[in-house]
Amino acid sequence: MSEILENIHPIWLYSFIFFGKIIEVAMATVRIVLITKGEKILGATIGFFEVVLWVILAVTILTDITSDPMKVVVYALAFSLGNYYGTIIEDKLALGSVRVEAIVKKTLGKRMSIDLRAKGYGVTAVDAYGKDDRKEMLIMHISRKNTKKVINFLKSYDEQMMITATETRPLYGGYGMLRK
């Protein structure tokens, strides 16, 4: 392996280290998210390729490291960027589900529930009491991919309402959810 690495131009070597490490760390980020979301087989598959790439990169970095410390700098920079790009990729994938709660004026609650249901979302409406008046709490479990769309829809009724979103891992049942 060291003979091959000696014959590669430093620019190509640094490029391989740089882009390889970005890909490896991005894979690690996505793998961790997949496993925590219950996608064990896909997470394990990504983990296999991640480790193969890591071993190749480690050998590349450690070969003659004392005469070329720039490899360490390139590796560290790529590690940082890999974390950054990994979170962007995970955000685009938007795996999992979210519990969205909106505390709305009582007078808006019924209309909002009907409109959300017409769009295919399951909504549970609960009477609530605010500081000064009656409220209604709308509770929904939705795909993370739909979070921005639902929040924008809710805000179109009233910019002053309170909205929270919490990532969840549904265990059983619910409208539009898989039964396990």
Taking alpha carbons only, the member of 165, 163, 115 closest to residue 145 is: 165
Span 41-59, pLDDT tens digits: 999 999 999 999 999 999 9
From the list 136, 147, 36, 54, the residue with the least C-alpha distance to 99 is 147
Q: Compute the distance between CA of residue 180 and CA of residue 178 in angstroms, rounded to an integer.
A: 6
The predicted-structure confidence for 144-166, as pLDDT tens digits, reads as follows 889 999 999 999 998 888 999 99
Cα(124)–Cα(151) distance, integer angstroms:
16
First and final C-alpha spacing in the chain: 50
User: Token pair for residue 26?
Assistant: 């991005």
**Which domains occur in the chain, in start order?**
2-93 (no CATH), 97-168 (3.30.70.120)
Q: Phi-psi category of 35—alpha, beta or left, where left has phi over 0 and alpha has psi -120 to 50? A: alpha
Q: What confidence score (pLDDT) does residue 173 get?
A: 63
What tens digit of pLDDT does each residue of 131-146 get?
888 899 999 999 888 9
Q: Which two tokens stand for residue 82?
A: 């890999």
Residues 87-104: tens digit of each pLDDT: 999 888 887 889 999 999
